[in-house]
């Protein structure tokens, strides 16, 4: 499995909401409907071209009116060719994240569902409301979250719309007879492989194995019910969940870097800096 095939699932997620424009060494992905969705409006850079961060910011400005798109986003391969750009971004106080693209085939470890836990497939409006509430709480912890620019209602609208367009199934985990959502994820198929999306555990129940249970159930569905070639995902390279995925048989096929500069700093999670836009 190649990084290109797995990365294609990332771009597929944006297809319902974005237009794509090919430039010399980069691809623009832009959503006029969800302008404040930071991950859905940016440049996917294929070749550094020797350009500095400021030069790429100028290119970004050619496609994104700063009055409408109040952030900056770049995506590119994690390799030495882009090291200068990463250092410049850090100095300019961008948020820098490293993402591992991982894949598992038929050798995946599907663990049985432990007694007392139930996996639910989102089907009713009540299910959707539970999912929206669950992810809203999760987003509120993130350093990029800003209700004014990128509120939970807007993100829920995007999730429902893309799910309808792409046939994304959502699942959540509870204890038997209880309503509290312990973990949730999305699952869809593209070009013969399945993709996990937004794997998340509630803050109160992390590191208790609930994500592993739900991911294992998704693997079983992907390989034994849907009959795909395997399962792909994108995970923060620095986050402990990568170890969870490795234990389930996933291997890294490549990595990317994402640079984001947000409209404001979230006062709950980032240091206050008067007069500085993050």
User: Mean pLDDT for each 10-residue chunk of the chain (278 residues)?
Assistant: 87 95 96 90 91 93 93 94 95 93 81 92 96 85 57 80 95 96 95 91 89 91 78 84 88 94 56 32
Rounded to the nearest 5 degrees, what angle is found at the Cα of 168, between the Cα atoms of 122 and 180? 30
Helix/strand number for the chain, H first, E second: 8, 11
**Cα–Cα distance, 269 to 221 (Å, whole number):** 37
Domain 117-253 sits in CATH 3.40.630.30: yes
**Cα–Cα distance, 92 to 122 (Å, whole number):** 41
pLDDT of residue 192: 87
pLDDT of residue 274: 33
pLDDT of residue 184: 97
Query: Where in the chain do CATH 3.40.630.30 domains reside?
Result: 117-253
Give the number of C-alpha atoms closer than 13 A to the C-alpha of residue 269, restricted to the C-beta side: 13
Q: How far does CA 97 lie from the centroid of its chain?
A: 11
Helix or strand (DSSP H, E) at 30: strand 26-30
Q: How far does CA 33 lie from the centroid of its chain?
A: 19
pLDDT of residue 146: 58
**Cα–Cα distance, 222 to 257 (Å, whole number):** 27
**Cα–Cα distance, 21 to 40 (Å, whole number):** 13
Cβ contact 57:105 at 8 Å: no
DSSP state of 5: H
pLDDT of residue 141: 59
């Amino acid at each position: 499995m190649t990084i290109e095939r797995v990365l294609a699932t990332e771009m597929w997620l944006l297809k319902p909401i974005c237009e794509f424009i090919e430039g010399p060494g980069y691809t623009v992905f832009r959503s006029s409907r969800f302008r404040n969705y930071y991950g859905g409006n940016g440049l996917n850079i294929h070749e550094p071209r020797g350009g500095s961060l400021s030069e790429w910011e100028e290119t970004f400005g050619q496609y994104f009116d700063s009055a409408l798109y109040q952030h900056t986003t770049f995506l590119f391969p994690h390799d030495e060719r882009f090291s200068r750009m990463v250092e410049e971004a850090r100095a300019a106080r961008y948020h820098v994240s490293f993402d591992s693209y991982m894949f598992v085939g038929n050798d995946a470890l599907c663990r049985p569902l432990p007694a007392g836990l139930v996996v639910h497939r989102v089907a009713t409006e009540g299910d959707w409301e539970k999912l929206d509430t669950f992810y809203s709480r999760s987003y509120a912890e993130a350093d990029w979250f800003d209700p004014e620019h990128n509120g939970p209602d807007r993100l829920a609208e995007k999730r429902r719309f893309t799910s309808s367009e792409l046939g994304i199934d959502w699942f959540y985990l509870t204890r038997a007879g209880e309503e509290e959502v312990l973990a949730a994820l999305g699952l869809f198929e593209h070009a013969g492989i399945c993709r996990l999306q937004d794997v998340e555990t509630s803050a109160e129940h992390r590191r208790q194995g609930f994500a592993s249970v739900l991911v294992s159930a998704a693997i079983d569905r992907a390989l034994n019910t849907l009959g795909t070639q395997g399962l792909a995902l994108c995970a923060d390279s620095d986050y402990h969940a990568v170890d969870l995925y490795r234990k389930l048989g996933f291997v890294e096929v490549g990595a990317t870097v994402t640079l984001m500069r947000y409209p404001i700093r979230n006062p709950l999670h980032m240091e206050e800096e008067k007069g500085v836009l993050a």
